[in-house]
């Protein structure tokens, strides 16, 4: 029974639990068995939990085991951001989404590994050691929500919550062959998400299908008075709206996202998505989006500027870790921060402080905010013509461990397809769309207009009605056996 349970989607497990085909205890036991089998090799978890089974309540995901990225505050459970500086931090409150998921009957299997403070594209910058890709343990799972994607791919949980500031849900989902979605900015409360770049951060699901993602978003989304940027709106109903009908849907394919730097196998697999959707009645057209060369610099300037401000709160006084080596108050701050943060986090704090400093503010920070206006306008114009945009999620499939860290700039450039979606506040989903010749998963990204979350979910669902890529498990490709 357990072997079969871990193969189900979250919605299938939810239905099996309702029908009594499996008990809540069976589901937890199946998850625990997988976590025990995988943790030593893939290191997806920082803090695994041992939940107790409870009676199944209402809702399609009630009783379904899941897990949370370790930058999401959980009352009474360590929330480390995979950083030494937050070691031992036990939040006295839950993030809003934790309350919402819990009210919908979710069962948390614990806290997932990530890049330190969500800064990275590899999940190697974690103070708790790197997470590995279940498809090939010599490779990274992507990042920063690498633990979330690896845990779902390895069958340890049925869905996981990640956060996405510049691609941190979509990129690891692509590398791990699972479906991951960043919803429209402002639709999911950020209360209790430890901030990286507040104007870009948004949490969302990583799961085995677009339908699972819709079900999770129906729980997560909603206005929250505790997050001033959360939007008023009509939430819920994404799952029942998935018809798979894409007749007449206008799909724009930006030629600028298929040029230099894109791996040819990735290009082929992503363009095949357009053909599948076309076969179901969608209209596909190529167009020009001539802003792509500016998205990475604009993103890193803005994200690092906000990070340098947000991370000033970590000073060894109020929570977390304090260096023992200090003589006075300013020494306490500097020693704690220098020893408590890893090198990628320090690099971004320094870069962010630089672009905000007197004399450089206009040339870098202000310029980046102007570029953001130009980029956002380019997407607005694209969405006057198209309902959905199709791009690759990443230029390549998952690199080997250690390949990316030596050259930070190269790592930043690999975020080119995902970061503009955050800059413009748009919804974006990565769906599995094939494998390269080494058997590694390829992801395609569908981007929607603001609040067009349902549109891209439905297009993704349509694709998954026609294809089986999202159902593949790593064992079939020589990864961790499922």
Partner 1 sequence: MKITEELVDYVAILSRLKPDEEERARITAELEKIVSYMDVLNALDTEGIEPLSHVFPVKNVLREDAVEPSFLREELLKNAPVGDEEAFLVPKAVE
d(CA 200, CA 364): 18
d(CA 119, CA 479): 26
330 binds partner 1 (CB under 8 A): yes
* 68 three-class SS: strand
Q: Shortest gap between Cβ of 297 and partner 1 (angstroms)?
A: 4
Helix locations, 292-418, DSSP H: 292-310, 329-340, 343-356, 367-385, 408-413
With CB under 8 A as the contact rule, the residue among 45, 159, 175, 185 that binds partner 1 is: 185
Q: Shortest gap between Cβ of 350 and partner 1 (angstroms)?
A: 5
d(CA 235, CA 218): 7
- Of the candidates 121, 145, 168, 430, the residue annotated as catalytic is 168
Residue with tokens 């340890």: 156
Contact code string over 121-160 relative to partner 1, x by CB under 8 A: ----------------------------------------
Considering only the stretches 83-91, 168-176, 211-219, 433-441, report the one whose residues sit in contact with partner 1 under the rule CB under 8 A: 83-91
366 binds partner 1 (CB under 8 A): yes
Q: Shortest gap between Cβ of 111 and partner 1 (angstroms)?
A: 16
462 binds partner 1 (CB under 8 A): no
322 binds partner 1 (CB under 8 A): yes
With CB under 8 A as the contact rule, the residue among 41, 243, 288, 312 that binds partner 1 is: 312
428 binds partner 1 (CB under 8 A): no
d(CA 348, CA 314): 15
φ, ψ dihedrals at 473, nearest 5° = -115, 155
Q: Is 198 a catalytic residue?
A: no
* 391 three-class SS: strand
With CB under 8 A as the contact rule, the residue among 1, 25, 54, 90 that binds partner 1 is: 90
Residue 144, preceding bond cis, omega within 30 degrees? yes
- Of the candidates 80, 83, 108, 144, the residue annotated as catalytic is 144
d(CA 57, CA 222): 21
* 101 three-class SS: helix
300 binds partner 1 (CB under 8 A): yes
With CB under 8 A as the contact rule, the residue among 161, 332, 401, 462 that binds partner 1 is: 332
CB 71 within 8 A of CB 117: yes
Q: Which residue, among 379, 397, 384, has the nearest Cα to 185 in the 3D structure?
A: 379
Q: Shortest gap between Cβ of 82 and partner 1 (angstroms)?
A: 18
Q: Which residue, among 204, 178, 195, 121, has the nearest Cα to 419 in the 3D structure?
A: 121
d(CA 424, CA 446): 14
Q: Which residue, among 150, 105, 99, 104, has the nearest Cα to 123 in the 3D structure?
A: 150
Q: Is 372 a catalytic residue?
A: no
Considering only the stretches 48-56, 365-373, 457-465, 467-475, report the one whose residues sit in contact with partner 1 under the rule CB under 8 A: 365-373
With CB under 8 A as the contact rule, the residue among 89, 127, 258, 463 that binds partner 1 is: 89
Beta bridge partners of 47: 111
Q: Is 357 a catalytic residue?
A: no
23 binds partner 1 (CB under 8 A): no
CB 174 within 8 A of CB 270: no
Number of H helices, E strands in the chain: 15, 11
386 binds partner 1 (CB under 8 A): no
d(CA 114, CA 377): 32
Q: Shortest gap between Cβ of 202 and partner 1 (angstroms)?
A: 11
Beta bridge partners of 110: 48
Considering only the stretches 35-43, 96-104, 235-243, 351-359, report the one whose residues sit in contact with partner 1 under the rule CB under 8 A: 351-359
Nearer to partner 1, 40 or 293 (CB): 293
Q: Shortest gap between Cβ of 426 and partner 1 (angstroms)?
A: 8
Q: How far is CA 267 from CA 24, 144, 430, in A?
A: 42, 23, 14
Nearer to partner 1, 175 or 364 (CB): 364
d(CA 198, CA 435): 34
Nearer to partner 1, 383 or 412 (CB): 412
Angle at alpha carbon of residue 312, lines to 417 and 224, rounded to 5°:
65
191 binds partner 1 (CB under 8 A): no
260 binds partner 1 (CB under 8 A): no
Contact code string over 29-68 relative to partner 1, x by CB under 8 A: ----------------------------------------
Q: Shortest gap between Cβ of 287 and partner 1 (angstroms)?
A: 20
Report the interface residues with partner 1, using CB under 8 A: 88-90, 92-93, 185-186, 199, 225, 228-229, 231, 293-294, 297-298, 300-301, 308, 312, 315-322, 326-335, 337-338, 341, 343, 346-347, 349-351, 353-355, 357, 364, 366-374, 376, 408-409, 412, 423-425, 450
Catalytically active residues are 69, 144, 168
């Amino acid at each position: 029974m357990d072997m079969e349970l871990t193969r189900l989607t979250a919605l299938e497990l939810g239905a099996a639990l309702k029908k009594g085909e499996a008990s809540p205890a069976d589901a937890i036991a199946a998850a625990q068995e997988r976590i025990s089998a995988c943790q030593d090799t893939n290191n997806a978890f920082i803090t695994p939990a041992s939940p107790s089974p409870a009676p199944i309540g209402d809702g399609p995901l009630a009783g379904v085991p899941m897990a949370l990225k370790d930058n999401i505050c959980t009352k009474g459970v360590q929330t480390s951001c995979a950083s030494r500086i937050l070691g031992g931090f036990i939040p006295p409150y839950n993030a809003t989404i934790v309350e919402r998921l819990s009210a919908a009957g979710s069962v948390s299997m614990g806290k997932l590994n990530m890049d330190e403070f969500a800064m990275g594209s590899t999940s190697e910058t974690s103070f708790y050691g790197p997470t590995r890709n279940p498809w090939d343990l010599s490779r990274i799972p992507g990042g920063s929500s690498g633990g979330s994607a690896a845990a779902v791919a390895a069958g340890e949980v049925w869905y996981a919550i990640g956060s996405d500031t510049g691609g941190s849900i979509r990129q690891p989902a692509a590398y791990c062959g699972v479906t991951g979605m960043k919803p429209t900015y402002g639709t999911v409360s950020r209360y209790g998400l430890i901030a990286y770049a507040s104007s870009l951060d948004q949490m969302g699901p990583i799961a085995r299908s677009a339908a699972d993602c819709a079900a999770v978003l129906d729980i997560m989304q909603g206005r929250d008075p505790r997050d001033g940027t959360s939007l008023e709106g009509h939430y819920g109903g994404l799952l029942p709206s998935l018809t798979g009908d894409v007749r007449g849907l206008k799909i724009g394919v930006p030629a600028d996202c298929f040029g230099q730097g894109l791996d040819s196998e990735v290009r082929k697999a992503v363009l095949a998505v357009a053909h599948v959707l076309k076969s179901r009645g969608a209209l596909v057209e190529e167009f020009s989006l001539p802003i792509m060369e500016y998205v990475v610099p604009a993103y890193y300037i803005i994200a690092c500027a906000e990070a340098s401000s947000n991370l000033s709160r970590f000073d060894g006084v109020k929570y977390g870790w304090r260096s023992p080596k200090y003589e006075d108050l300013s020494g306490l701050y500097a020693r704690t921060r220098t020893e408590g943060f890893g090198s990628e986090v320090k690099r971004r704090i320094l870069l962010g402080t630089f672009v905000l400093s007197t004399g450089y503010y206009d040339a870098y920070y202000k310029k980046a905010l102007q570029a953001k206006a130009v980029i956002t306008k380019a997407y607005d114009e694209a969405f006057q013509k198209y309902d959905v945009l199709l791009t690759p999620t990443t230029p390549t499939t998952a690199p080997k461990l250690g390949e990316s860290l030596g050259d930070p700039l190269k790592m930043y450039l690999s975020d080119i397809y995902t970061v503009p979606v955050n800059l413009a506040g748009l919804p974006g989903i990565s769906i599995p769309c094939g494998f390269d010749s080494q058997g590694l998963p390829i992801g395609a990204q569908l981007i929607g207009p603001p609040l067009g979350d349902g549109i891209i979910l439905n297009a993704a669902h349509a694709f998954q009605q026609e294809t089986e890529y999202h159902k593949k498990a790593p064992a079939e490709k020589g990864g961790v056996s499922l």
